[in-house]
Amino acid sequence: MKQKYYLAITILFLLSVSANAQFKNYNVKAGIQYNQLMPFSEFDASTSFLGRIFLGFEINETISFEIGGGYGKYKTNDNFNAHSNTDPDHYVKTDIMPIDARLKIAPFTSENWNPYIYVGAGVMKYSVKEVPSSVNIPDYNKMEDGWTGIIPAGIGTEIKLSKNVILDLNLGATYSFTDLLNNFVITDFKDGYGQLGIGLSFVSGDDCNTDIDKDGLTKCREEQIGTDPEIADTDGDGCKDGDEVNIYKTNPLNKDTDGDTLIDCDEINKYNTNPLSKDTDSDKLMDNEEVNNYMTLPTDSDTDDDGLIDGDEVLTYKTNPKMVDTDLGSIGDGVEVGRGTDPLNANDDLPPAPPKEEVKIGTVIVLEGINFASGSSEISPGSEAILETALSSMKNNPAIVVEISGHTDSRGTRARNMTLSKDRAESVKSWLVSNGIESSRIETEGYGPDKPIDTNDTDEGRLRNRRIEFKRIR
């Protein structure tokens, strides 16, 4: 029998590991207990028990208050006094009915168990029901009946079984202020008992302002928006419900708020895209298309910096949005579109050969196709074919002196554009000088946005305005 009892306790403990109950933040806790008693008295202890019911109320996360009452049998074996051989037994049997109030202190709580200590005070009704009949001592057969004060104390632990059910194991002792629980007095030693108890507690409700799943939202708030107050990430997108509601403004009930087939938390942490917008960079391609189909940057509308947005390259011009010069004809796709040539045909990339006649003073030549890295003066590799044309003209006319001028569109500050246009003109000069042209034959100027040759209201117009010009000055 004992083996079955201990086996049942072990199984309950193992099952409790994955349970999900709450030890804190409840409204009321009710329970039942069974206690095996070991009587303390002048007589030998015998098998005794106590059944108990209780109600518990939380004071704070460490201390709770409990009030309870019970009924039990207090049984001792009178081996102290002489007995007749005709007595079948020497037992003293007493009914006990304790009522007490306890403070329970739980200094720490793990996920699956909650150890505590307790101490309390109360009263107990006792009534002696049976004594050995053959003991010849005055008043021995007068069975006592009355009330006494008691002080219970002990230790225990709570173990999770389910959300609202908790297994309670405890070990303690109860001291009484009477020596008559066994109907016999020898000294001033008071009677009492030790106890080993097992019970079940049933939890009711929880505080609306608690955050059970630690996701940054209270239970009340989660009930309002429909998320699960016991799951930190209701929609399973990798972001806590509280972060979705308070920081990202995404829907914690939908793992793909904007419907672009990218999970919200991947957009935030992996792709750096906007989980509230299907097209983060406004390039006419959805974020998931850029990530999964075209391998372009969903946060950069012009992945290859050729002056054409990715969506136009894919949908309108059929060019490669990851290549500056799709047809490898030495002229960038944006330049070809801007001047009306085919970015898919390499044969129309290079302009006609320059005229053999001498370049006149004041003549302006626009070098179409010279590209720079976005926001910098670094010449793109695909621009060298155009620069070779200018280099050839300088070598064929060794006496001329030219001004190289840089121009920008109107986006950005004027001060920044003035500096950038000057730096780009200097980059072209440096390239020519490194290829054999005397530095004294080249002057540079940056005009920024001040001399547009087209409108700045369209992509094509801005593309034409971003240019390098050669002008003979001597």
**Mean pLDDT lowest among 41-55, 122-136, 262-276, 317-331:** 122-136
- Residues 262-281, mean pLDDT to the nearest whole number: 94
Task: Identify the weakest region by mean pLDDT among 69-83, 113-127, 362-376, 382-396.
Answer: 362-376
Q: Flag whether pLDDT at 16 surpasses 50.
A: no
Is position 244 within any domain?
yes
Last residue of a domain, one of 187, 206, 225: 206
pLDDT tops 70 at residue 137: no
Assess whether 114 and 202 both reside in one domain.
yes
> Looking at residues 20-34, what average pLDDT do you find?
74
Question: Looking at the domain assignment, is residue 347 inside a domain?
Answer: no
Which residue shows structure tokens 């008559």?
Answer: 180
**155 shares a domain with 138:** yes
Q: Which residue has the higher pLDDT, 435 or 142?
A: 435
**Both 197 and 217 in a single domain?**
no
Write down which residue in 261, 278, 295 finishes a domain: 278
- How would you classify the pairing of strands 63-77 and 145-160? unpaired
Who contacts 82 (Cβ-Cβ below 8 Å, separation ≥6)? Answer: 135, 136
Residues 131 and 213 in one domain: no
Look at the chain and report how many structural domains it folds into: 3
Q: Are residues 196 and 219 in the same domain?
A: no
Do residues 201 and 215 share a domain? no
Which residue range is the domain that position 81 belongs to?
A: 2-206
Query: What is the spatial order of strands in the sheet that 402-407 belongs to?
Result: 364-366, 467-472, 402-407, 442-448
Given the structure tokens 């040759």, which residue do they identify?
A: 453
Residue 115 within any structural domain of the chain: yes
Say if residue 18's pLDDT is above 50.
no
Mean pLDDT is lowest, of 74-83, 165-174, 231-240, for 74-83
**What's the confidence (pLDDT) of residue 24?**
61
Residues 195 and 217 in one domain: no
Give me the residues paired with residue 34 across strands: 51, 198
pTM summary value: 0.45
Contact 39, 48 (CB under 8 A): yes
Query: Is residue 342 in a domain?
Result: no
Whether 333 is covered by a domain: the verdict is: no
Please report, for the domain that includes residue 436, its CATH number: 3.30.1330.60
Please identify, among 244, 278, 312, the residue that sits at the C-terminal boundary of a domain. Answer: 278
Same domain, residue pair 227 and 124: no
Do 197 and 232 belong to one domain?
Answer: no
The mean pLDDT value of the chain amounts to 85
Residue 133 reports pLDDT greater than 60: yes
pLDDT attached to residue 4? 47
217 and 274 together in one domain: yes
pLDDT attached to residue 108? 80
Residue 412 lies in a domain: yes
pLDDT at 212 over 90: no
Q: Which CATH number covers residue 42? A: 2.40.160.20
User: Is 378 inside a domain boundary?
Assistant: yes
Indicate if 12 and 160 belong to the same structural domain: yes
Going by C-alpha positions, the residue among 411, 417, 421 that lies closest to residue 468 is 421
Shared-domain flag, residues 367 and 248: no
- Residue 188 has what pLDDT? 73
Asked if the structure places residue 284 within a domain, the reply is no
